[in-house]
Amino acid sequence: MPITKVGLEMPYRQGLFMEATPRGHPWKQAYSSPRTTDYGKMHSLFGSLMAVAAAAFFTYLCYHILRWLFLQWQVIRAAAPECLEALRAAREKIYRFSRYGILPSHVVSDPTREELKRIQKLLRKQLILLENLEKNRKIEASSPAPAPSVRDLLECADGLHYLHNSLRELPGYSERVEEGFEIVWHKLETVLSLTGLALLRQRHVPFDPKYHQAVENRAPGSRDLQVIQVLVPGVLQDGRLMRPAKVVLDVPKQPCANNGGKSL
């Protein structure tokens, strides 16, 4: 049976196209024509042109990207000295602020500047107090150790001071008991003076960082501070501070004598 157009369409519609098509696919030969061949050539030419256009576009894009990077490198190279100078100035400002607490006037407002000044003053006071404490510690470490008998006297003085403070807090504490304690203190301080020692146990005296170590401050914002309680008495040896007195501070409730808190 010769292969015709009708003969090709019928098996295709019936799903028997592979069986109806002889070996070598003569249906392609039957349907091949000069028009079909020209269409294939045009398709191949169009694909080649598209490949050439894509390559040209990619080359153009790479050229502009490289040119833009080169221009940016030139700009960065030209601005590098100015950037380094700005970085040095910023580092200097940061160093001045961290070391001295100095900020330009346009950075902070007036309330913030006042708050910074107040914090700086407070930090300076704390720094002075820490320096005095370090001095006292060095003096205490470098001072010669007292004799065993003197050490026993100091332990006795500490125990008596603790007892005195404890009895002061009782409701039945009277002036006669206070007078009795003062007599005992006078005799003990007389014995200590023979060895060159003196106690710092006075209350209601101005706070002196040289002789006092503040354990508690009940008026942090006040400048005029007074010793209202002595927790541990201080010790002087031949006029040199051997141990500062540990005290509690508050605002003065009555005028106090300016005797430096020393009891000789």
Structure tokens at 74: 């030139």
Which range is least confidently modeled, 42-56, 89-103, 190-204?
89-103
Average pLDDT over residues 236-252: 88
Scored b (16 or more CB within 10 A) or e, 159-195 reads ebbeebeeeeeeeeeeeeeeeebeeebeebbeebeee
Instruction: Name the DSSP class of 145.
Output: P
pLDDT confidence tier of residue 168, bands split at 50, 70 and 90: confident
Instruction: Name the DSSP class of 2.
Output: -
Strand partners, 246: 213, 232
Number of H helices and E strands in the chain, helices first, is 7, 6
Mean pLDDT of the residues in the chain: 75
Q: Are 226 and 252 in contact (CB under 8 A)?
A: yes
Which range is least confidently modeled, 27-31, 58-62, 122-126?
27-31
Q: What is the pLDDT of residues 84-115, one digit of tens each?
A: 788 888 777 777 666 655 555 555 556 677 77
pLDDT for 15: 45
Average pLDDT over residues 153-162: 87
Alpha carbon 27 to its chain's center: 86
